[in-house]
Amino acid sequence: MSEKKYKKLRFINPITNKNDVLRIDTDLVKNAKSFPVSITYFHEQHAIILYIDKNFTIRGVDTSVFIDKKVEVRKKIDIESLQFTQSDDTGNGEEISDEKIIQSIESNLKDIEEKIGFLVIGSQGVGKTSLIYRYLYDFFNPSYVISNDVKNFKHDVEDIVGKPIKIVLWDIPGQIDPKKLVKTFENKISGVICIFDVTRKSTFDDLKEIWIPLINKEFTSCEKLYLANKIDLAHEREVFKDSIEEFSLEKDISIYETSVKSSININDSLNDVILSTWIKHA
């Protein structure tokens, strides 16, 4: 197997004023259908959108800052002020070390013990991070999303039971071996949100062969939510409604057809699983 090639982009984060590094798979740019390619980097309460040409030159930068859960402030940034530099990188960048996973999770677990925890899982590129930002901030940008680390999002869900429900959503990159999640999150997770992409049959196969067996074996007491994402891309579908319904009946589960881009069935489905989890643990 040939090694994957990456570009490392170093720059001054315009929100934090700190040095940041993005490691981007060169195939994302090389195989793009049009230019510039937009790539979104999420960090805590903001997003940076980079517009990259076929030579990996930055042609534009936008930022969005999330305020009061829903409001976003968009701003174009002067490229020169960010001091971009780039370098080549070769290696298996899709693997995240066990040590890094555990450190990333355990460093935050102590602060969220009183919150209801949800894992957001699924194969790479199905829309996990975009789902979280759509639900929390009503934000969506049609671009590649860089997710190289485990992140957690603390949130108070209002207007479901008349008082805030304190939750945390764990964004798990698809390249992580799901078996590594079990011991780390043992007794700390109350719900699992699992996503696949209807435009890629392989992600539906992963749901059937990897994710559901893992969930049924290791997270038996958790509430479950299964989402079939990207239904807005009807002309690109590889997994159709009849196949989803047949599988749902076979496994006695509910799978909601959703679109993060068009915000179809996002709030309702997540609110439902949060409410049922809250009732179970109240």
Q: Residue 25: what pLDDT?
A: 82
129 φ, ψ (degrees, to nearest 5) = -65, -40
DSSP class of 259: B
The answer for residues whose C-beta is within 8 angstroms of residue 158's C-beta and 6 or more apart is: 164
Q: Residue 1: what pLDDT?
A: 42
Q: Residue 20: what pLDDT?
A: 87
C-alpha separations of 230 from 65, 69, 94, 149 in Å: 25, 24, 23, 23
Q: Residue 128: what pLDDT?
A: 95
* CB neighbour class for 211 (10 Å; exposed up to 12, middle 13-18, buried from 19): buried
Digitized pLDDT (tens) for each residue of the chain, 282 residues in all = 456 788 888 889 888 888 888 888 888 888 888 899 999 988 778 899 999 999 888 899 999 998 876 777 888 998 888 888 888 876 554 455 666 667 767 766 666 666 899 999 999 889 999 999 999 999 998 888 887 678 888 889 887 888 889 999 999 888 788 887 888 887 889 999 999 999 999 999 999 999 999 999 999 999 999 999 999 999 999 999 999 999 999 999 999 999 999 999 999 999 999 999 999 977
* Cβ contact 227:258 at 8 Å: yes
Long-range contacts of 67-74 (CB under 8 A, 24+ apart): 69/136, 69/137, 69/155, 70/137, 70/138, 72/137, 72/138, 72/139
Q: Residue 95: what pLDDT?
A: 53
Closest CA to 84 of 136, 13, 2: 13
What number of other Cβ atoms are within 10 A of residue 175's Cβ? 15
